[in-house]
Structure 1
């Protein structure tokens, strides 16, 4: 796949990075002087911006100023070279830069076009500027606590619309390439960060849109699907909600035997329990440590999980065995990057290293030559400016 990424910040570069992990040749088109918005992040890995390392490894950099007289020429050449382009901009901004679907397909009538914007291509919010938290706030996806007249996002909250937009954009590009192979014409897909944040709550929204009861919070599902403290005060999530699991659980925890047959198993095959069971289960779980219960429940094939933080999950033997990372080399040494959660044919071998994150404009002369264009002699082709 040949991908040209005209986007910046998170969603588009994440989509391009995922496609690079799948083997695509990705050209990043960046502003001279500053590059994309990930290069100047203060959080650093090996002395480089963390998002720059995480998202730009495996790509090549073409630095060109959108105000340059050469901009139309280079954009046209990129469109002809590409199988797909990724454009991160509000619809009117894309049109102004000649990066809209209609403009780019004049250069390549079989191009796959993926546009990414905050609120989509239509609707009253489509022209609004957006950062990740903006779209989450408008999608009901920002949990808040209040202290006086100040509101604060709850601890542990992470933006959802922006990273999901990157995943869906990569999926849209792949689907577009497949549709093009079947139909032979250009394909246009648009990804809205807001729509992605809304999709994240698909279960709740499905209930609300169909006048059903609100989907329960996980903490309110029931005592048979809940987190309990063990004798060492460590949390353990237990999930014996199917009849066979519940009967084993009652026996192993010495709960009253009369509870074993308690449940409406014929309805969906699961039962989340009854309020009077919560204290009984909580008391039973204090009989053993988290490690002891983990061994007992695993042997009994009952669903459970210790509740780990990110550092504990990373330090687990399973993380080491799961090809969780791929590497890239930077001047500060080797860097580990979380890999796309895909393995081929069940093979969990470590994926090959990615090329290092490029210096701004590092490949400009090389890329211009590939596009059949002549590099500017005054700056040796490292950037194309005004």
Structure 2
């Protein structure tokens, strides 16, 4: 079967959201050109921690892409921008609206180079409103979206240990989704498309359950710890945690039979298919689960087909047999050896059998800064700039 031409994506963005969007598209087969500053790159090349001597973000977000290095101060900037834009199916821009205009990366300017362009801009706080021109950095948007839980230590506020930002990542996911939807719409006769998402909006959306209950009922969504005795964590004899969820009638009856709680088997109100339990069941279930080990309960609950989940550490999850057969990691070769990074959870296959046995080939290594400049210039019809200094005096 003849392979279709890959989507052509030009990524003008920096740091995390835009590069994540283009990376997800690479994992689905796109040809991505990164337009980078000749010294700073996309802002991800110098980050800590290092893996095999390379920034973890550069390894995670840039494998399989190509890099052209040029400064906005270069006299050839506008020609190069027009050339790569004309080549592209879609471009990704990450900036405030006024900065995009200043750099000649706004929608109307790029549309002159490609009248059928899909243009994706990922902003910090949106295109309008009192926060639209705020400078954006990582955690800031989550903070203004009500997502940052604070620990106070001796009067000093600190981010809770283990907290991770949602907005910068979700904006990349939604950006990639928007690009794909816009390309379909354009190719069905919709003409050029303008795609926008903001990091702040996606961070706020991540809490959509709480958003919905706050704006309508003036209260937060449920706390998982308060859902009930039949949707709760319990400690095993070796002090490991199990999340046990026998909410449906059949599951509850099986659970009572397995744990010796026969006196509770017929207890429940099943009009809406699930019963979350009763407070006086907690001590009875706690005692029953405490009598066996984590491994024993994992085996027994699985065999009885009762909804449950062992509470694993991230290390246990990533190194599990399940993770290995589902190919959650994808490799790439770098000078320091082969490294593995988290793979996109979206995998395309030609049939279900192929999908059930995923085989992910290694991605090409992340490019050196500007390593593909001359090749890209020639490919987009700018042969006269091959070998030219595009640094604009950047240092």
Counterpart of 2:3 in structure 1 is none
C-alpha contact (below 8 Å) 2:317/2:323 kept by paired residues:
yes
C-alpha contact (below 8 Å) 2:44/2:58 kept by paired residues:
yes
1:48 to 44, 54, 62: 54
TM-score normalised over the length of structure 1: 0.96
C-alpha contact (below 8 Å) 2:45/2:54 kept by paired residues:
yes
**Shift in Å at residue 383 of structure 1?**
4.6
In structure 1, the gaps of 5 or more residues are: none
Separation in 2, partners of 1:136, 1:50: 22
**Shift in Å at residue 169 of structure 1?**
0.5
Q: How does 1:11-22 map to 2 (within 5 A)?
A: 11-22=17-28
**Shift in Å at residue 183 of structure 1?**
2.2
Q: Indicate the larger mover: 323-332 or 357-366.
A: 323-332
**Shift in Å at residue 376 of structure 1?**
4.7
**Shift in Å at residue 121 of structure 1?**
0.8
Cα distance change on mapping 1:375 and 1:323 into 2, 3 Å: farther
Q: How does 1:251-270 map to 2 (within 5 A)?
A: 251-255=257-261, 257-267=262-272, 269-270=273-274
Separation in 2, partners of 1:312, 1:143: 26
2:116 to 102, 110, 113: 110
> Does 1:295 find its partner at 2:302?
no
1:314 to 309, 312, 318: 318
C-alpha contact (below 8 Å) 1:41/1:49 kept by paired residues:
yes
Q: Please state whether the residue corresponding to 1:106 is helix, strand or coil.
A: helix
**Shift in Å at residue 98 of structure 1?**
1.1
Q: Indicate the larger mover: 47-56 or 272-281.
A: 272-281
Separation in 2, partners of 1:216, 1:366: 55
CA distances 1:310-345 after superposition (whole Å, capped 9, x unpaired): 111111111111111221111111111221112323
Q: Please state whether the residue corresponding to 2:120 is helix, strand or coil.
A: strand
Counterpart of 1:334 in structure 2 is 338
Separation in 1, partners of 2:224, 2:232: 8
> Does 1:61 find its partner at 2:82?
no
In structure 2, the gaps of 5 or more residues are: 1-6
Counterpart of 2:4 in structure 1 is none
> Does 1:35 find its partner at 2:44?
no
**Shift in Å at residue 213 of structure 1?**
4.7
CA distances 1:237-287 after superposition (whole Å, capped 9, x unpaired): 1111111111111121122x33222222112x1121111211211111111
Q: Please state whether the residue corresponding to 1:282 is helix, strand or coil.
A: helix
Separation in 1, partners of 2:118, 2:217: 38
Counterpart of 1:240 in structure 2 is 246
1:360 to 369, 372, 381: 369
> Does 1:193 find its partner at 2:202?
no
**Shift in Å at residue 136 of structure 1?**
0.6
CA distances 1:75-125 after superposition (whole Å, capped 9, x unpaired): 111111100000000111011111111111111111000000111111111
Q: Please state whether the residue corresponding to 2:113 is helix, strand or coil.
A: coil
CA distances 1:338-383 after superposition (whole Å, capped 9, x unpaired): 2111232332332122111000000001101111113656xx3575
Counterpart of 1:350 in structure 2 is 359
Q: Please state whether the residue corresponding to 2:44 is helix, strand or coil.
A: coil
Separation in 1, partners of 2:281, 2:66: 59
Alignment root-mean-square deviation, CA: 1.4
Counterpart of 1:134 in structure 2 is 140
Separation in 1, partners of 2:289, 2:303: 16
Q: Please state whether the residue corresponding to 2:196 is helix, strand or coil.
A: strand
**Shift in Å at residue 214 of structure 1?**
2.7
1:77 to 74, 83, 93: 83
C-alpha contact (below 8 Å) 2:76/2:390 kept by paired residues:
no
Aligned residues: 382
Q: How does 1:111-260 map to 2 (within 5 A)?
A: 111-211=117-217, 213-255=219-261, 257-260=262-265
Counterpart of 1:385 in structure 2 is 392
Counterpart of 1:276 in structure 2 is 280
